[in-house]
């Protein structure tokens, strides 16, 4: 009995390692997708809302709130990756997101839908675009301004121009995950016989 208890503890540790690696690889893949297709999620969500209007019994006001939320996301994408937290668009978008969550929770609390259907609605209609915007904001954290902005002030031979001329350097969430993969995970060398 004691040996089986010890095996269960070892099993929990192994499962925790597997879950952690799965989450890390999922975030790595998500960071790659978000950096390449940061606007695509908005259009997919609009298409989902239009599909829900025609094919499901979800109230029109809930789909209208979702489409309004996508309009706010579209307005925020004009200045992306810069967010002005005091702008009317940002404040209205956050307020609309909170109200939209409240109305969705109220609707799904009063009408029976399966857990997977409710999770699909919240994931694809409420959370995917704000999460994608949040992840892709970190994609440009370490990028310096472009050289054309202040080229006349800096001259030809300066540190900024030399730094920006090196296209191989990318600082983003994806490059962080790539660095972590290369430095933390062991690499296997193939033996040639």
Whether 81 contacts 137, CB under 8 Å = yes
Taking the C-alpha atoms of 148, 152, 157 and 158 in order, what is their torsion angle to the nearest 10 degrees? -70
Give CA–CA dist 156/150, Å, rounded: 11
Give CA–CA dist 113/183, Å, rounded: 45
**What pLDDT does residue 147 have?**
47
Structure tokens, 176 = 């962080």
Give CA–CA dist 120/104, Å, rounded: 12
- Per-block average pLDDT, block size 10, for the chain (193 residues)? 83 91 78 65 82 88 90 80 78 91 92 88 84 66 48 50 51 64 66 56
């Amino acid at each position: 009995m004691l040996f089986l208890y010890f095996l269960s503890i070892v099993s929990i540790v192994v499962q925790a390692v597997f879950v952690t690696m799965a989450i890390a690889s999922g975030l790595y893949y998500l960071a790659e997708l978000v950096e390449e297709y940061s606007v695509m999620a908005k259009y997919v969500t609009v298409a989902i809302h239009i599909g829900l209007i025609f094919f499901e019994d979800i109230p029109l006001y809930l789909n209208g709130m979702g489409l309004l939320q996508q309009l706010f996301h579209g307005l925020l994408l004009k200045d992306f990756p810069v967010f002005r937290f005091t702008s009317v668009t940002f404040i209205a978008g956050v307020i609309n997101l909170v109200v939209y969550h409240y109305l969705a929770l109220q609707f799904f609390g009063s009408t029976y839908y399966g857990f997977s259907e409710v999770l699909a609605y919240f994931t694809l209609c409420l959370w995917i675009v704000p999460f994608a915007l949040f992840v892709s904001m970190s994609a440009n954290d370490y990028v310096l301004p472009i050289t054309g902005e202040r080229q006349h002030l800096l001259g030809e031979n300066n540190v900024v121009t030399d730094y920006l001329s090196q296209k191989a350097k990318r600082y983003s969430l994806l490059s962080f995950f790539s660095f972590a993969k290369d430095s933390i995970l062991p690499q296997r060398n193939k033996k040639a016989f």
